[in-house]
Structure 1
């Protein structure tokens, strides 16, 4: 198995340093590394250049000319990774993700044990995500797949894992062959729900595992859950969730109903916890309007003038034809 790590960075220079140092210290080395910088202004590019020098030809640094958000950064990085024919897994993370020394080895060991159960149909794996105190991070706690059949549950249990329906980009392993079949993250999401939509799209009709033996630390400022007050970013939560439920093929109709109900409950908790409900109401209004009246633009349009390398842009164009945007 050949693994390309993709790290998306934006204005977190010291966390980027820590993340890159952790990637270099993996007990099972990463085969290639792609770092995508979203036009940072804090010197993150200098940190990347310094630390990537030791990687030589194994590393690639892509500095975009504009901030395309996490969604755009991951679309570019994943496209650059799968442009190489011999990659098997694409390991994605943000610059505030610090992998433990056995994060990659633990995931690949689970995959190997899974293959020994008689099938090799894994499309996605996700790490155990903890906060700086070593406890599970509530923002990245996965949930078991609804309606997983007995065979799925048995095979996952045999390798010490849990079957999943989606995963965050805080240390997700994406099967390169499946990405080439399904497409890329939708760049126009910019922030939030791009990982939910993309991983669910990869996993529709395929298998995914949460692997506790692969551990990373998500160094957010606080140990908050996904329903904590997001401030102005709530706009993206509302708009993008509507895009998922109305326009994406990632979820079956019955799943959209269940996730819609869960989303409504989460938004209610968000309003209750907010100190600025007026701001959230305005974000809800604008996000609701744009989610209903607009569709996400094709990624080739969003990324066209963002400084994307030619080979990655070719992949973006090709996968747009698969139906991903």
Structure 2
């Protein structure tokens, strides 16, 4: 007999108390619940801090309040490290505060992971959920990148257990094996927002197996239904800088993948700018992103220096 794996959920939040409440409710209402939840509050200025002070969920909740907003990327670095080092996680289940996992999300992801290991003797690096918008449509912001060049045997094995092989995933309900975090390290905090998930999941899956399953479902409560091609305004800077960091500063992608993805990004950026009513803002972000991508990301230690404010472990409700 093997012992039950320890699963720790990690949620990063900033100024979205109501959405965070929905996220935590989804986690704790599942047919399978994690052994603990780590919530990283990125120095919220709304009612989030007060909500977390009084929150009592169905599982122990480790609330980490930061004294500066280090973005989703920095928050996931803090939370994933806490999950592995402090809580002894075997799997880390990560998501933003606008994610609502559906009841079977965690159980189905674990089942696929276990089934694949039984079939092949190899533990998959991570399992990604199917991500849908509030109306049930597949969310274009969370499209999985299929694994180009996967063998017919590998595709068939994945299909037999209700999964597909993928190359990368978003940080919206993805179950990562803790051994992979120890092996490949943590995300890059200096990305702040956007493409930190692309870089990290592609880094982890470059020489490992990553799967997505439609049996595990999470709702992504974004304001609008769209992908990164929707007009991002000033945030376009992060799209440009961070994608270029992935292509020029990371070993997550093979050289041929970098060429392929760079061409796709250039086409998408051109379409986004052409369709925008705020072209000046996007062009400013483009040139600023190009300029800043010439300098490598700072180390996590530098980005996160002095950001810890408070930690409070909440015991489950009785």
Of 9, 23, 33, the residue aligned with 1:29 is 33
Q: TM-score, normalised by structure 2?
A: 0.94
Deviation (angstroms), 1:143: 2.7
Is the contact made by 1:76 and 1:308 (CA closer than 8 Å) also made in structure 2?
no
1:186 is aligned to 188
**CA shift in 2, pair 1:303/1:273, >3 Å:** same
Deviation (angstroms), 1:275: 1.0
- Give matches, 1:3-152, under 5 Å: 3-51=7-55, 53-55=56-58, 58-84=60-86, 86-152=88-154
Is the contact made by 2:99 and 2:221 (CA closer than 8 Å) also made in structure 1?
yes
Q: Distance in 2 between matches of 1:220 and 1:273?
A: 21
- Give matches, 1:206-245, under 5 Å: 206-245=208-247
Matching of residue 263 in structure 1 with residue 265 in structure 2: yes
Deviation (angstroms), 1:55: 4.4
Q: Distance in 2 between matches of 1:71 and 1:177?
A: 20
Aligned CA RMSD, in angstroms, stands at 1.4
Deviation (angstroms), 1:151: 2.5
**CA shift in 2, pair 1:309/1:75, >3 Å:** farther
Provide structure 1 residue ranges, at least 5 long, that are not aligned to the other structure.
311-325
Q: Distance in 2 between matches of 1:226 and 1:194?
A: 14
Count of residue pairs the alignment pairs up: 307
2:298 is aligned to 297
Deviations 1:214-234, CA, capped at 9 Å, x for gaps: 001000001112211100000
Deviation (angstroms), 1:169: 0.3
Is the contact made by 2:12 and 2:76 (CA closer than 8 Å) also made in structure 1?
yes
Is the contact made by 2:65 and 2:310 (CA closer than 8 Å) also made in structure 1?
no
**CA shift in 2, pair 1:308/1:120, >3 Å:** farther
Which of the pair is proportionally richer in helix?
1
Is the contact made by 2:7 and 2:35 (CA closer than 8 Å) also made in structure 1?
yes
Q: Distance in 2 between matches of 1:231 and 1:208?
A: 32
Q: Distance in 1 between matches of 2:172 and 2:54?
A: 24
**CA shift in 2, pair 1:54/1:144, >3 Å:** closer
Which of the pair is proportionally richer in strand?
2
Deviations 1:30-49, CA, capped at 9 Å, x for gaps: 11110000000001122223
Q: Distance in 1 between matches of 2:129 and 2:301?
A: 30
Q: Distance in 1 between matches of 2:43 and 2:7?
A: 26
**CA shift in 2, pair 1:200/1:281, >3 Å:** same
Q: Distance in 1 between matches of 2:310 and 2:121?
A: 36
Provide structure 2 residue ranges, at least 5 long, that are not aligned to the other structure.
312-318
1:317 is aligned to none
Q: TM-score, normalised by structure 1?
A: 0.92
**CA shift in 2, pair 1:108/1:165, >3 Å:** same
Q: Distance in 1 between matches of 2:61 and 2:152?
A: 42
Is the contact made by 1:17 and 1:48 (CA closer than 8 Å) also made in structure 2?
no
Is the contact made by 2:113 and 2:123 (CA closer than 8 Å) also made in structure 1?
no
